[in-house]
Structure formats: structure tokens, C-alpha cells
Amino acid sequence: MANWALIGASRIAEGHMIKAIRSVPGHEIVSVLSAHQARGREFAARNGIAHSTTDLDTVLSDSDIDVVYVSTTNDLHFSQAMAAIEAGKHVLCEKPLAMTLDDAVQMVRAAEARGVVLATNHHLRNAGSHLAIRDLVARGRIGRVLSARVFHAVHLPEALQGWRIDNPAAGGGAILDITVHDADTIRFHLGEDPAEAVAISASSGMGQGVEDSVMSVWSMPSGATVFAHESFTHRFAGTGIELHGTEGSIVARNVMTQRPVGEVRLQDPEGRRVVPFSDHNLYVRGVSAFAEALNGQGAPAASGVDGVKSLAVALAVREAAQSGRRIAIGYGGL
Ligand code: NDP
């Protein structure tokens, strides 16, 4: 049983998360916070949410609210999540957790000190496709991983071309939007944290004051190398991930997505075959794991620490692109 408040009347909340939260028995959404009173009211009415407010304290002082889901623009995550943690609420926060590594680390430390669950909404590690890939890697089916390639260059739908493409202060840009997901996915598959990054970013037709495309290469402690490509401007590139090992390769297509689709193939000396995977809803699985963690059973799919680490990689990629240097990635002591 848990009552949730939505911090942010966002598209991701309306498009995916409200349904996911309500899919868990005993979990209900009782309030939504929006900076805009009329929008908040309409959002609440449209989605059958009893209350809307423009005042964060109204949400946080409500003892009936156990959990907040933070899905405002990226610049607001830190202050809103910190206030919620300090008020003793559990927090499921959108990626990137914060705009700086120090802020994200502070969120993790504060949640630990207050004894609340902090999780990051990295959806990809909940996908059946990625769970199948990780299982193959963990069982040694491709041997020692030599390299990975992530293809995550998409065309940002017009409806999302707001703050993401023209507002660096709100946390816009392809790196904070997409590279964080790819960093989390690579960490999930390889079970290690990238050590260094080099990168080149570009504004290739959509970004105004922020990058809309980036290619980066990361070194891993094991010696593996990772190539990652993220963009808002690629209409026809398709997405995918490849992991190449000493004993085999995994080639997955159309899997860097919010939907339970795509194809995973394993190639090894026995030939090439399609790997079956579950087609469950990614966000439902994420919220279910979070709900179990609230009950003391297991951990969220992506923890606060995972959110810190994906942000650390993204910030290093951005610094590498801006400076032209090879950047050692620090994880704020976590
Ligand atoms: P939106 O642009 O839909 O919402 C962000 C904020 O913008 C809202 O909180 C809202 O403010 C304001 N807003 C939204 N629509 C309007 C409008 N029509 N007019 C005026 N203001 C508006 O963002 P997204 O849902 O795309 O992203 C929100 C967060 O979720 C980001 O941090 C993003 O990175 C993350 N995200 C994560 C995904 C995942 O799969 N994990 C997928 C998509 C996004 P207010 O609340 O004050 O009304």
C-alpha cells in the first residue's frame, strides 16, 4: 500500500508512469504538483487524480503521501527530491538525477540518512530484451567482453522538442537526455563502471545552445571499449546495442526504446539464433521493483547510486566533448 504524489505534470508521467504506478495493487496517485495551476488541474482531471497543487510543501507535509515521483525538467530534480527526502518521502526520480555529480551524491547520502528509498527511473534495464542480454553476458555466453556499441540516435518527436533542444539551464541536450540511459545500460550489462571517456558532440539541426548529437568512446576497467552514439536528429538510423566477446557476439536491434520490442541475436561458433525475451511493460516492472523495495524486499531496478553513476558518465562525456580531452570518470566516492 502506498500513496504517491506526482511532482511534475509531465508527458512521461501521463504517457507511462501513471498506468505503471496504478498497476501495482494498493498503489494510488493522490496528488499532482504543477507550477501552472490550470495545467495541473486539467492534468489531474484528465488522469483521475484527486488533488492538484502548485505548492511543494502542501505535498510534502501531507502525511498520507508516502512516495513522490519526480518528473519535472532536469534542473528541478535535485531541489524537489531533496525536499521530499527530508520530509521522509520515498523518491522515484527521473534521470538525470541532478545537474551535477555533487548534487546527485548528496541525494543518495540524504536518502540513506533519512532511511527512505531513492531510485532512478532508468527504464531500459527493465526491458525483457536487456534482461536477456545481461543474462547471456553473465552466463559467459560471449566469453570475455571485448567491446560494446550502442546506437541510440533517434529523431526527437515534435512534442518533445521544447526545453530538451533549446534550454541548457533546464538540462536540455542529448547527453543529459540519452547518454545517461546508455551509460546505465552498459553498466547493467558489463557490471562495471566506465573509467574514461573521449567524445565529440554536434548541433546538427535541432539543438540551439545545446548539443543534439554526440559520439563517445569509453574505456572500461576490464579493458573493454564502448562506443555510444546519441542524437535527436536521426530519422532513420534505428536503435540497437552490440556486445562482442571472445566467444560470441550479441546483436540487438530496436531495443533502446520505451516499448517491449526489438530483436536480440546471439552469434557464436554454433551459429546465429534469435534469443527469446519477455514482452512485459518496462515501466510496470520498474515500479513493481520499487514497490517491493518499499516493503523491504529487494532493491529498485536502478538505485540512486545507479543514477549517480549514469550521470557521472554523461557529465564526463560532455566535458570530454567540450574540452577535447580524455576525461577520467569519477563517481563522487560511491
Ligand atoms: P515534459 O516537458 O512533458 O514535462 C516537464 C515539465 O514541463 C513538467 O513538469 C511541466 O511543468 C512542464 N510542461 C509539460 N508540458 C507542458 C506544457 N504543455 N506547457 C507548459 N509546461 C509544460 O517532460 P518529459 O515528460 O518529456 O520529461 C520529464 C522528465 O522525465 C525529464 O527529466 C526527462 O529526462 C525524464 N524522462 C524520462 C524518460 C524515461 O523513460 N525514463 C522518458 C521521458 C522523459 P509543471 O509540472 O510545472 O506543470
Task: Based on the fold, state whether residues 23 and 167 are members of the same structural domain.
Answer: no
pLDDT tens digits, one per residue of 115-136: 999 999 999 999 999 999 999 9
The CATH number of residue 259's host domain is 3.30.360.10
Domain count, the chain: 2
* CA atoms of 78 and 301, how far apart (whole Å): 20
Residue 299 lies in a domain: no
Task: Based on the fold, state whether residues 96 and 13 are members of the same structural domain.
Answer: yes
Tell me, in angstroms, the distance from the centre of ligand 1 to residue 74's CA.
9
Task: Based on the fold, state whether residues 47 and 167 are members of the same structural domain.
Answer: no
Q: Tell me if 115 sits within 8 A of 87, measured CB to CB.
A: no
Residue 108 lies in a domain: yes
Helix, coil or strand: residue 293: helix
Give the DSSP per-residue string, 138-182.
HTTTT-SEEEEEEEEE-B--GGG-SHHHH-GGGT-SHIIIIIHHH
C-alpha cell at 116: 527512505
Helix, coil or strand: residue 108: helix
Residue 270 lies in a domain: yes
Contacts of 139 (CB under 8 A, 6+ apart): none
Residue 214 lies in a domain: yes
Task: Based on the fold, state whether residues 47 and 107 are members of the same structural domain.
Answer: yes
Answer yes or no: is the C-beta of 73 below 6 A from any ligand 1 atom.
yes
> Can you say whether residue 28 is alpha, beta or left, with left for phi > 0 and alpha for psi between -120 and 50 degrees?
beta
Q: Find the domain containing 318 and state its range.
A: 124-283+312-328
Task: Based on the fold, state whether residues 101 and 154 are members of the same structural domain.
Answer: no
Answer yes or no: is the C-beta of 94 below 6 A from any ligand 1 atom.
yes
Residue 105 lies in a domain: yes
pTM over 0.75: yes
Q: Which amino acid is at 44?
A: A
* CA atoms of 246 and 313, how far apart (whole Å): 26
Beta-carbon neighbour count of residue 252 at 10 Å? 24
Task: Based on the fold, state whether residues 267 and 135 are members of the same structural domain.
Answer: yes
pLDDT tens digits, one per residue of 58-92: 999 999 999 999 999 999 999 999 999 999 999 99
Average pLDDT over residues 192-207: 97
Task: Based on the fold, state whether residues 16 and 106 are members of the same structural domain.
Answer: yes
Task: Based on the fold, state whether residues 152 and 254 are members of the same structural domain.
Answer: yes
Task: Based on the fold, state whether residues 227 and 274 are members of the same structural domain.
Answer: yes
Beta-carbon neighbour count of residue 274 at 10 Å? 9
Q: How far is CA 208 from CA 152, 159, 184, 323, in A?
A: 20, 16, 26, 19
pLDDT tens digits, one per residue of 268-285: 999 999 999 999 999 999
The CATH number of residue 65's host domain is 3.40.50.720
Minimum-distance ligand 1 atom for the alpha carbon of 76: 32
Task: Based on the fold, state whether residues 28 and 45 are members of the same structural domain.
Answer: yes
Residue 172 lies in a domain: yes
The protein residue whose alpha carbon is closest to atom 40 in ligand 1 is 123
pLDDT tens digits, one per residue of 27-64: 999 999 999 999 999 999 999 999 999 999 999 999 99
Task: Based on the fold, state whether residues 219 and 106 are members of the same structural domain.
Answer: no
Minimum-distance ligand 1 atom for the alpha carbon of 32: 46
Last residue in a domain, options 54, 87, 122: 122
Contacts of 38 (CB under 8 A, 6+ apart): none
Task: Based on the fold, state whether residues 144 and 102 are members of the same structural domain.
Answer: no
Residue 219 lies in a domain: yes
Last residue in a domain, options 104, 122, 140: 122
Quick one: pLDDT band at residue 151, thresholds 50, 70, 90?
A: very high
Residue 333 lies in a domain: no
C-alpha cell at 284: 510496470
Of 10, 53, 95, 175, the one to substitute when testing ligand 1's pocket (max ligand atoms within 8 A of C-beta) is 10
